[in-house]
């Protein structure tokens, strides 16, 4: 695991300095080991480990970036790779192709390790009433008008985009499940399956 000396400074800090905190959280999980144990389509060990693919995209998401092409700016950034304890940062095309081929087993590992991290770190989960925890589930349409991405269609918000569904736990709002869906998908479509998706024994 990478170590860092933290000192006060008047200098301008890079916007991605929070990646070190993401790396610290990931180091407390078994995400790397579990993802790298998953088989590939060909049965051949990939040049870039599954874990580096997942960490690369996580590194983008925590910075509010979701476009695969954004990874190109970090391929030569030693801080990005060191913070997330990666062997190699993939190209945008490799990142896209590998995530497209990722099966539900990847998602199962991420959900399981997310739950394990919350439990292991002793994070507080505040009930909404007595000892009952709230689980908030909602669809949040994305605006993707003027694009030709697969699945982009007219949402109930009267814009073209996607209609992903999210689930959050407790007053703190820990994300426990999410699913990207076509914009035209009805908000209730697939909801029971989504609810079962976070019926995780680790919560």
CA-based end-to-end distance of the chain:
26
- List, for residues 76-121, the tens digit of each pLDDT value: 888 899 999 999 999 999 999 999 888 778 988 998 898 888 888 8
In the predicted model, is pLDDT for residue 196 greater than 90? no
pLDDT at 6: 80
What is the spatial distance between Cα 163 and Cα 156, in angstroms, rounded to a whole number?
9
- List, for residues 118-151, the tens digit of each pLDDT value: 888 888 889 988 889 888 888 889 888 888 888 8
What is the spatial distance between Cα 76 and Cα 74, in angstroms, rounded to a whole number?
5
For residue 176, which phi and psi values (nearest 5 degrees)?
A: -115, -10
Alpha carbon distances (Å) from 159 to 139, 151, 180, 187, 188 = 14, 13, 16, 15, 19
Task: Give the angle subtended at the CA of 114 by the CAs of 111 and 118, to the nearest 5°.
Answer: 140
pLDDT at 41: 75
């Amino acid at each position: 695991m990478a170590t860092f000396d933290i000192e006060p400074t008047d200098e301008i800090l890079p916007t991605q300095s929070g990646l070190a905190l993401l790396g610290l959280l990931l180091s407390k999980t078994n995400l790397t080991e579990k993802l790298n144990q998953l088989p590939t389509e060909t049965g051949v060990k990939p040049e870039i480990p599954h874990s580096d693919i997942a960490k690369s995209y996580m590194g983008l998401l925590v910075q509010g970036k979701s476009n695969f092409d954004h990874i190109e700016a970090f391929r030569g950034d030693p801080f990005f790779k060191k913070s997330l304890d990666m062997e190699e940062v993939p190209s945008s095309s490799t990142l896209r192709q590998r995530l497209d081929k990722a099966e539900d087993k990847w998602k199962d590992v991420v959900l399981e390790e997310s739950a394990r991290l919350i439990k292991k770190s002793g994070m507080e989960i505040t009930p909404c009433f007595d000892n009952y925890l709230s689980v908030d589930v909602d669809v949040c349409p994305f605006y993707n008008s003027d694009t030709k991405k697969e699945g982009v269609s007219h949402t109930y918000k009267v814009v073209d985009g996607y209609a992903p569904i999210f689930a959050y736990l407790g007053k703190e709002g820990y994300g426990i499940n999410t699913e990207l869906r076509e914009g035209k998908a009805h908000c209730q479509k697939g909801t029971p399956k989504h609810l079962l998706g976070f019926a995780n024994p680790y919560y």
